[in-house]
Amino acid sequence: MTTIPVPEFQHRTVLLDEAVDALDLTGARADGVYVDGTFGRGGHSRLILSKLGAKARLVAFDKDLQAIATAEQIADPRFQIVHDSFATMRASLSERGVEQVDGILLDLGISSPQVDDAARGFSFRNDGPLDMRMDTTRGISAAEWLATETEQTLEKVIKEYGEERFAFQIAKAIVARRAVEPISSTRQLAAIVAGAVKTREKGKDPATRTFQAIRIFINKELEDLEIGLSQAYACLAPGGIFAVISFHSLEDRMVKRFFASKANVPQPDRRLPIRAVDLPQPELKLLAKFKPSDAEVDANPRSRSAVMRVARRLPLPLSNPEGAQ
């Protein structure tokens, strides 16, 4: 296997202690099976391993080749890394002999090394090739997409995924510029957006929302999340804990709605002759919602938008032991 160099960029794992504590790796649970759906640079995985027992198992997922290279440096027989999206969780775990797990953690944020490495094309702060792919072995780059997509689709993506009110102007400017020259670098795209966005919140770069939107679209982040939430839930054993860290409103809204759909079940009219055993039962119990402390935000400003939601899968309701009709 080709060795992938791992650039030396500092990464601070967001909500590190809170996320691992939420998995409740105590007592018999310390010998369970767990999933880190987004390995990143391994902050959560390493702390989880430090708390697990000798019989435990941790399976991590990531699409980024540099993350995979970092994970492969962990020489621990309890640990496995999967080069794929957590959206493949159910099939990937089954291939490894795992059908149910005791806890799942998804950290949906992009890692600091990805942002800080200009060659990845995620950030407009340093000039680099306009790539933006988490997995550079699959799919098309942002530059390739911008070169061929229709103005209408560009507008839709920037508006919906970036929540950008100037999406129409930005899409129009992109199409006009690409007719003159290829848009191949992050600085080029940032300059185009800056010229189309006339006002912006104080302290926020005009290109922030557009870069976010294109990154989400290119990597199918919301599609993966929608599939991944269902995949993760299907793998979660009764009593298992599901924790998800989101970094923008679109992600958090999806997580909140998914958890609510399993925790809040509609109740029929109490006047109807329905036995208690036949009433709809909640499948998840909402445990907590966390945000970074002031101290963490001061130490790592990139953590300020993080939100973690935690839920526990409830045991299956007991069937009527008497088999009454």
Judge whether 62 is annotated as a binding position: yes
Residue 28: exposed, middle, or buried by beta-carbon count in 10 A (0-12, 13-18, 19+)?
exposed
Judge whether 224 is annotated as a binding position: no
Residue 220: exposed, middle, or buried by beta-carbon count in 10 A (0-12, 13-18, 19+)?
middle
Angle at 55 between CA 52 and CA 58, to 5 degrees: 55
In this structure, the strands spanning 284-290 and 236-246 are: unpaired
| CA separation, residue 258 to residues 96, 309, 311 (Å) | 27, 11, 11
Judge whether 42 is annotated as a binding position: yes
Judge whether 44 is annotated as a binding position: yes
Q: Identify the CA nearest to 179 among candidates 223, 134, 147.
A: 147
Do residues 34 and 12 touch, judged by C-beta distance below 8 A? no
Q: Identify the CA nearest to 163 among candidates 245, 249, 224.
A: 249
Judge whether 43 is annotated as a binding position: yes
Do residues 251 and 225 touch, judged by C-beta distance below 8 A? yes
Rounded CA separation 170/304 (Å): 27
Which residue numbers belong to the known binding site?
Answer: 42-44, 62, 86, 107, 114
Which residue numbers belong to the known binding site for S-adenosyl-L-methionine?
Answer: 42-44, 62, 86, 107, 114
